[in-house]
Structure 1
């Protein structure tokens, strides 16, 4: 039996995808896979049994990626599984930004004892007047699964949309409405947009990238929406931008002690992916990623190892080698197999930054001694044998 541990509540819709060869366990040290959402694993001591971690969601800042790579643990996430849920909340954010819906609701609640509320409403509603989205310009920074959906729905609402993403994928480009204008650089977008929405991963390059330099290039009274990560924005620079009306409103899905003190800010309690459908989709994708890796060695949607797919394993054996991206690694692996008179029928090697992954299909089953020889190669993090 292949054992999987759920470190958080995982949708039964996803867990039902597990075949009878899998068993859920509460004994984490015996599990070959973890399914996780928010559990912080940075101080966690991983067992040698652990082969992979699947995050049912997009963000993986709760997982120590470098340490996982060193130990040969593949970390998956589920990009796009929650895209529709986040898109819909961004749409809500746009509406909250241009119409004072929150203020209006609070006013109604404060006057619920007023027997003349109908007349009072007609006098006071002008205080909550807003503007329409149609005809305004939305700048979308980051055209991944979520950004593309946001751009398309904004087009449907009659907005002008400018998108910027120097790394846009072929799939995203095909999915994007032809009416979305493509900015060649971010400055073009910043100068024209009435609303700006962020859909970027958090990396060393994007941390606090929205700062005073960016604010200086924006129009005055811009609405900034952040449903990606709070620290994409330099909050001290944001405070100044709000006070000087460079930013008219800041809409974010990330409460923290600093942003909660800012005026003209609407803070939502991290509800982007909090729908039943999103949790089901993330769970299904996470389970399927784990199963394909554990059964066939295939890697899809990993955040620390390269993608690699050799389909269903039909050979006598398949070896999965997780190793450092250094010279002569393939030569050392194939030399050991040749000395053991084991023939290779197929081989794939892909790399990602400092790590690499090699899959080999073989005509013969692998003796335990051969696995030990492969594991002893300098730079090998883990060997998995499927047979």
Structure 2
């Protein structure tokens, strides 16, 4: 790069090798460095400006995070969709719950054959499956199954009794 460049790092700490950057500043290769990832070696250097790293702590950021958390919780409660979970997979669907139908939200252990068990139980109950989304994250999986019609208590119990099922939550349209 040309001599005398100016570098601004507001992205992430660790993107810059601090010792090499300090050497480049001291040699004049880098004319100035601005960062919000302060290193003790950067302090008291007239060519380096250290800013506080507060991007996620501003009132606006805090409000945006709170609004996002509430929206994601509402979406989970109303539609079963999971986004940004710490311990569950991301599961989304563009489809609405069928009119007069049911969305089954089934967290389960991530083992083979679970979807086959679910669809067999639903078929035996004469329920048409309108859509299935099943995602896993490590040992946990989460199925969202949309069916035409209301799912009865006996069918919910049969699904819940499947080995490896953690719970069954119906959402009725």
TM > 0.5: yes
Corresponding residue of 1:188: none
Residue 298, structure 1, aligned to residue 86, structure 2? no
Within 5 Å, which residues of 2 pair with 1:192-211? Answer: none
Within 5 Å, which residues of 2 pair with 1:29-108? Answer: none
Give a deviation string over 1:343-373, Cα, whole Å, max 9, x none.
2432232547757542112331344633432
CA contact (8 A) 1:319 1:360 kept: yes
Supply the distance in 1 between the matched residues of 2:15 and 2:107 (Cα, whole angstroms).
Answer: 32
1:293 CA displacement: 0.9
Residue 372, structure 1, aligned to residue 160, structure 2? yes
Supply the distance in 2 between the matched residues of 1:332 and 1:267 (Cα, whole angstroms).
Answer: 58
Unpaired runs of 5+ residues, structure 1, are: 1-217
Going by fraction, where is strand more abundant, 1 or 2? 2
Out of 268, 274, 279, the position equivalent to 2:62 is 279
Higher relative contact order (CA 8 A, sep 6+): 2
Give a deviation string over 1:119-173, Cα, whole Å, max 9, x none.
xxxxxxxxxxxxxxxxxxxxxxxxxxxxxxxxxxxxxxxxxxxxxxxxxxxxxxx
1:268 CA displacement: 1.6
**Matched residues, number:** 165
Q: TM-score, normalised by structure 2?
A: 0.68
Residue 343, structure 1, aligned to residue 131, structure 2? no
Unpaired runs of 5+ residues, structure 2, are: none
1:289 CA displacement: 1.1
Mean CA deviation greater in 225-234 or 254-263: 254-263
- Partner of 1:231, secondary structure, is coil
Q: Give the RMSD, CA atoms, in angstroms.
A: 3.5
Supply the distance in 2 between the matched residues of 1:262 and 1:326 (Cα, whole angstroms).
Answer: 57
Q: TM-score, normalised by structure 1?
A: 0.35
Give a deviation string over 1:67-105, Cα, whole Å, max 9, x none.
xxxxxxxxxxxxxxxxxxxxxxxxxxxxxxxxxxxxxxx
